[in-house]
Amino acid sequence: MNHATRAAKFVGDADRTTWHDETLWFVRAKRDKAVYAVPEFQDLRELASQIKDHTLSKLDTYLEQFEEQAKRNGVHIHWAADAAEHNAIILDIIRQHNATRVVKSKSMLTEECHLNPHLLSNGIEVVDTDLGERIIQLRDEAPSHLVLPAIHLKKEDVGETFFKHLGTAKGEVDPQVLTEAARQHLRARFLAAEVAISGVNFAVAETGGVVVCTNEGNADLGVNLAHVHIAAMGIEKLIPRLSDLAVFTRLLARSATGQPVTTYTSHYTKPAAGKEMHIVIVDNGRTKQLGRPDFRASLKCIRCGACMNTCPVYRRSGGHSYDFTVPGPIGAILSPNIDMKKHSSLPFASTLCGSCSDVCPVKIDIHTQLYKWRQVLGEANEIPASKKWSMKLMGRLLTSPKAFGVGGKLARHGIKYLPYSLTHARHFNVWAVARELPTPPKQSFREWYQQQANTPA
Amino acid sequence: MKVALFVPCYVDQFYPQVGIASLQLLEKLGVKAEFPAAQTCCGQPLANSGCEKDALPIYRHYVDTFSDYDYVVAPSGSCVYHVRKHFDKLEQTPAVQQVRTSAYDLIDFITTVLGVTEIPGTFPHRVGLHLSCHGQRGLHQANESEITPVRDGQLRRLLGSLNGIELTELDRNDECCGFGGTFCVSEAAISARMGQDRVADHERNGTTVLTGGDMSCLMHLEGIVRRRQLPMRVLHAAEILNGTLS
Ligand code: SF4
């Protein structure tokens, strides 16, 4: 199934689509207000972009520096080449502590590596503690957004889920009541957890510390209650110095939700007395992307989700239509790196309007990369054969002015003389499903121009 | 000044009046543009479909057709953006460079090259602008809402100079219409929905004449306006500006 098919399914529910579109547009508008209020915002973007470019150009050095510093702080460092290694390392740490109960605060990386099913199948109970994450975990769904993982669900859906799993009343839709139920349910899990897993927003090479930005504070609660903290990070999360951090924290929350800063910005540098801290540093395809000069900049992403909120296609097709851990425009340039065949339709799930590149706080040229992926996919024969052949034919036609004139005429007259039921038949012409075809004029511009030239003034 | 008019394929066949208005408007502003008969297409549909290699002969044909002119003007920002940005795939001969730098969107040409800031005339209608993404973000013909709240741009200013005109304020100033070239076919469902939402914004805010600088977006929006039989006319900006000059 390609993006278009999944998207068509989503957009088929017109009301839900309206609601999804408007909710995310509201977040985009909030972002705008927060951004306009900071006069130096565009300079900050530029600075962030440069810091990230620089870091990526010396990633090996900064990773070593980070490891060294973290070890000095008493943190255990692990390296994982891929998802399987990441999962094995984490399971191993949990087993070493004879633990069976784990809480986890939103980490897209563990999603990417499918950690939950791996732990569950090994007898470990793992509970996502962010509200949105917990909702979709109960529903056995994937997140549909980086920052708002359950944004595809309405409160009715949540009510239904909690009725099934948490014993709230049937038909309960009051957000207050539902949140309270989740809170009570999670509290027990927090208290029981032996190990807490968190994501990482930024890793500071200079200090060896990691920074986690949250609004619910669940990461802190989990980490402070459990005996062991495991932080999982992709290699691209590094920034060189602690002083660089301010640039990113100013950009992240504003771009994500329009807040000046996230409610909690927690620094974890060393384990508390008597406790343990582990950091798992994961590659999983990132060095491969680093080695693609056209797409390397996609690794600058700080996962704010702004490109999704602004993307007119994402807003109307939903995150699940991308069928990849990171959806939306950024997902569409990260995913073909992982599996070109499976994700070949994603770079085409865009009008190339360029809004994603304009909101991106680290100035990733997202829409240019989408365009470039299309060429890579075309060359690799990963686009539909019918498209490939019709484009080849068109290529020939369009280099011959004569054939072009005749072809155009045929198209114009074809529309005029074919019956409406045929030109507007769903299978012949998808354009006409929702739109009228243009009324063909008597004369083309070319013919008119020729006539003018032949008529003496 | 030797100026060529580039008329995109679909405008040639379905909207000849837009080509005519462009030509006449230029003439009224003192520029006599030619229409080189050998022209075909800029190759964008192929390139956007991932078939850039197959488009290269078209690019070369385009360069052969237009490299003798000081300016190539088109009533479509999208084609111009494509020529400027993606003809980098050709060997950068002087001819190729000439064509890339001389390609102009009609409104951009009038504003930037001719230095025209006002068009005398009257157009007493509630006009809604559809800013094309390629024109606005690609060619910087208007401010982008991602960057600034100030709504300004070449077309807004030119139209705003007409007497009696009232420009609609939209809820979403510069949202994409969903045409996207081959996107409208490969992602037909999303494309249609985006177009419907775009038209609805104009409808909600009282647009009676929908206009813009890029005929491709307008073709898509017109298809929706006509399907819904709305009392809204869709005109290329050249038609409005040309009509008021006579
Ligand atoms: S690509 Fe840019 S806008 Fe999109 S999530 Fe990443 S940082 Fe945010």
Burial A54-65 (b: 16+ CB within 10 A, else e): ebbeebeebbeb
User: Is the CB of A354 less than 8 angstroms away from the CB of B133?
Assistant: yes
Collect the ranges in chain A with pLDDT lower than 70.
Answer: 407, 410-429, 456-457
Q: Which of A363, A283, A99 lies closest to B146 in space, CA to CA?
A: A363
Find, among B94, B114, B98, B111, the residue nearest to B1 by Cα. Answer: B114
The ligand 1 atom at the shortest distance from the C-alpha of residue A366 is 1
Computed over every residue of chain A, the mean pLDDT equals 92
Cα separation, A9 vs A7, in Å, equals 5
Distance (Å) from the alpha carbon of B112 to chain A's nearest alpha carbon: 23
pLDDT reported for residue A418:
55
Cross-strand pairs, B142: B153
Residue of A nearest to B12 (CA): A445
Nearest by CB to residue B20, choosing from A371, A377, A445, is: A445
Confidence (pLDDT) at A234: 97
Q: What is the pLDDT of residues B3-33, one digit of tens each?
A: 999 999 889 989 999 999 999 999 999 999 9
What confidence score (pLDDT) does residue B10 get?
85
CA distance A109 to A200: 9
Strands (E), A283-390: none
| Chain A residues within 8 A of B17 when measuring between CB atoms | 441
Whether residues A434 and B48 touch (CB distance < 8 A) is answered with no
Q: To test ligand 1's pocket by mutation, which of A330, A346, A357, A368 has the most ligand atoms within 8 angstroms of CB? A: A330
Asked if B209 contacts B127 with a C-beta cutoff of 8 angstroms, the reply is yes
Contacts of B49 in chain A (CB under 8 A): 348, 374, 378, 383, 387, 391
Query: How open is the CA angle A80-A83-A88, to the nearest 5 degrees?
Result: 70
Q: Return d(Cα B8, Cα A2) in angstroms, integer.
A: 31
Q: What is the mean pLDDT of residues B126-153?
A: 95
Find the residues whose C-beta lies inside 6 A of ligand 1: A 146, 255, 301-307, 330, 359-362, 364, 366
| Ligand 1 centroid to residue A302 C-alpha, Å | 6
Residues B195, A434: C-beta atoms closer than 8 Å: yes
CA B194 / ligand 1 centre spacing (Å): 22
**pTM, full prediction:** 0.94
Could you tell me which residues are beta bridge partners of residue B167? B127
Q: Tell me, what's the pLDDT at B244?
A: 67
B38 at interface of A, judged by CB pairs closer than 8 A: yes
Chain A interface includes B235 (CB < 8 A): no
DSSP string, B36-87: -TT----SHHHHHTT-HHHHHHHHHHHHHHHTTSSEEEES-HHHHHHHHHHG
Cβ contacts of A370 within 8 Å, gap of 6 or more: A329, A332, A333, A347, A350, A352
In this predicted structure, what is the pLDDT of residue B9? 84
Give which of A200, A265, A259 is closest to A233, Cα–Cα.
A200
For residue A356, give the ligand 1 atom closest to its CA. Answer: 3
- The residue assigned the tokens 């384990």 is A271
What is the pLDDT of chain B when averaged over all its residues? 95
**ipTM exceeding the 0.90 mark:** yes
Tell me what pLDDT residue A430 has: 73
pLDDT tens digits for range A183-216: 999 999 999 999 999 999 999 999 999 999 999 8
- Residue B88 to residue A411: CA distance in whole angstroms: 31
Residue B158 has pLDDT above 90, yes or no: yes
Ligand 1 centre distance from Cα of residue B124 (Å): 43
Query: What per-residue string of b and e applies to A327-365 under the rule 16 or more CB within 10 Å gives b?
Result: bbbbbbbbbbbbeeeebbbbbbbbbbbbbbbbbbbbbbb
Supply the pLDDT for residue B68: 96
Q: Please, what sign has the CA dihedral across residues B12, B14, B20, B21?
A: negative
Report which of B138, B161, B152 is spatially closest to residue B214, judged by C-alpha positions.
B138
- pLDDT digits over B160-202, tens only? 999 999 999 999 999 999 999 889 989 999 999 999 999 999 9
Residue B3: both structure tokens together:
């100026």
What is the model's pLDDT at position A106? Answer: 76
Nearest to B189 among A11, A409, A411 (CB): A11
pLDDT confidence of residue B169: 95
